[in-house]
Amino acid sequence: MDFYIVLGVRREATAEDIRRAYRRLARRLHPDLNPGDGQAATHFEQVVQAYETLVDPDRRRRYDSGGVATEPDATGPGFGFRGFDFSPQVHAQQTTTFGDLFEDVFARRGTQEAAPQDGGDVFAQVTLSFEEAWRGTTRAVPVTRQQACTACAGAGVVRAVQRPCGACEGHGAVQVARGHMVFSKACPQCQGAGVRRLQPCGGCAGGGVVTVAEQIDVAIPAGITDGVRLRWTGGGHAGRRGGRSGDLHLDVAIAPHEMFGREGDAVTLVLPVGVHEAGLGARVTVGTPEGAVAVRVPPGVQAGQRLRLRERGMPRMQGGRGDLLIEIRIVMPRLLDERSKELLREFGRIHGEHAR
C-alpha cells in the first residue's frame, strides 16, 4: 500500500498538501457519514494511517527510505484521536501537537480582553519675565500629543452596516482542529454575534488616538521659582482602551531683571545713597515690583548693609509673602570745587579716628 497513492498526493507534496488531502478524504469517508459502509471504514483507516505517517517528518523520512509504515510513537503527533466534526462549517488551522493547542488557548485568553494602556507624559518649557513670576500668569504652551480620536471616542472602531461575519459565515462560532481533535470557540472577529456591526475607525486607523499639535492654556501661579517643574495631571498623551492619560510636565525658567534680584522668596535690590544721606540718615523712595515705597535710611548706615522690608517680597505659592532686601551702596559725590574738598578734609579731621 502506497501512502501517497492513498492520499492522492505526489511524493514531493508539502505537509500542508498532505493535510488538505487528509481533510478532504476524511470528510468523505468518515464512518459517521457512512454508517454501515465497511469499505468506506476500511478506506478511512488507510487514510488515517497514511496521514499519521506522512505528516510526521521523521516517520515520513523512514517510510520514504524503506517504504515501510511504522507504528506511531507514543510521543509523536499521531495519537489516533478521530473525533472530527466533519460538518460543512469547520474553519480550522491544522496542527499536530498539544503544544500548539495550549499556545492557542493561552493566546485567546490574552486577547479576549486587552489590558488598558496608560498614555505617556509630555514635556515642555516656558520662560517667564520677573513680573510674570511675581503676579502669576496664563501661558499658551505649544505641545504635540496624542488625543482620543473624536470620530470613535477612542474606541478604535465605529458602527457599520450590519452584515454577516465572513470569518464564521454568520454562525458566530468557528471550529479549530488540533491534530485529530476539534474545538469550538466564539468567532474572534464578531465575538460570537455572527454579524459584523463594527469596523476599524478611519480617523485613527483603529488605534483610538490621533496626534495633534496644539496650544494648551496653562495657569502659572504667582511666586513661581526658576527651575521648578510643574505637572498637570491628564495633560499628556491619551490612554488606550480606557487607560488614564499621561501628564504634562512644564519646566519653568525666569529671565533676569535689570533692577530686581531674588533669593528664595525674598526680592533684592541695590539702593545708591550719598555720603551725606549715609551719614545723616534720609528718607528715600524706592521702586518695587508693585510700586514705589518710602524707605528710611538710618544715620551712619554702612556700604553693603541690608535694610529689610517685611512681606514686600515675592508671593509664596503656599501663601504669604517674602521680604524686600535693600542693599546700601554709598555713592561718592563729584568734587567740583575747593569748598567741597575743604569740607571733606574738615570731616576727616573731626572723625578720622572713627572712620578707620
pLDDT confidence band for 310 (50 / 70 / 90): very high
- Estimate to the nearest angstrom the gap between the alpha carbon of 350 and the chain centroid: 78
Evaluate if residue 117 carries a pLDDT over 80.
yes
At 122 the three-state DSSP class reads: strand
Top-confidence residue, 176 or 80:
176
> What integer best gives the mean pLDDT of the chain?
79
d(C-alpha 58, C-alpha 64), whole Å: 10
Task: Specify the pLDDT at position 142.
Answer: 92
Compute the average pLDDT of residues 7-30. Answer: 86
Is residue 18 within 8 Å of 11, Cβ to Cβ? no
Q: What is the pLDDT of residue 256?
A: 93
Reported confidence tier of residue 197, pLDDT bands at 50, 70, 90: low
Range with lowest mean pLDDT among 101-110, 260-269, 273-282? 101-110
CATH no. for 117-154+202-256: 2.60.260.20
Dihedral angle computed from the Cα positions of residues 206, 246, 146 and 196, in that order, rounded to the nearest 10 degrees: 10
- Phi, psi dihedrals of residue 94, rounded to the nearest 5°: -85, 125
CA-CA distance, 130 to 76, in Å (whole number)? 79
Percent of the chain with pLDDT over 70: 79
Residue 340 clears pLDDT 60, i.e. is over it: yes
Question: What percent of the chain is helix, strand and coil (3-state, nearest 5)?
Answer: 25, 30, 40
**DSSP calls for 201-228:** -TTTTTSSEEEEEEEEEEEE-TTPPTT-
Q: Tens of pLDDT along 21-53?
A: 888 888 787 776 777 777 877 888 888 888 888
Domain ranges within the chain, ordered by starting residue:
3-86, 117-154+202-256, 261-355
Q: Please name the residue ranges forming H helices in the chain.
A: 3-7, 15-29, 38-54, 57-66, 98-112, 130-135, 275-280, 338-355
Which amino acid is residue 88, in one-letter code?
A: P
Does residue 352 surpass a pLDDT of 80? no
Bridge pairing between strands 324-331 and 261-263: unpaired
- The pLDDT of residue 339 is 84
CA distance 147 to 3: 61
pLDDT in tens, 217-269: 999 999 999 999 999 998 899 988 778 899 999 999 999 999 999 998 999 99
On the question of a common fold for 3-86 and 117-154+202-256, the answer reads no
Q: Give the model's confidence band at 89: pLDDT under 50 very low, under 70 low, under 90 confident, else very high.
A: very low
83 grid coordinates: 473525533
Report, at the CATH architecture level, how domain 261-355 is classified.
Answer: Sandwich (2.60)
The owner of cell 478511512 is: 44
Q: How confident is the model at residue 108, as a pLDDT?
A: 46
Q: Does domain 3-86 have CATH number 3.40.309.10?
A: no
d(CA 99, CA 116): 29
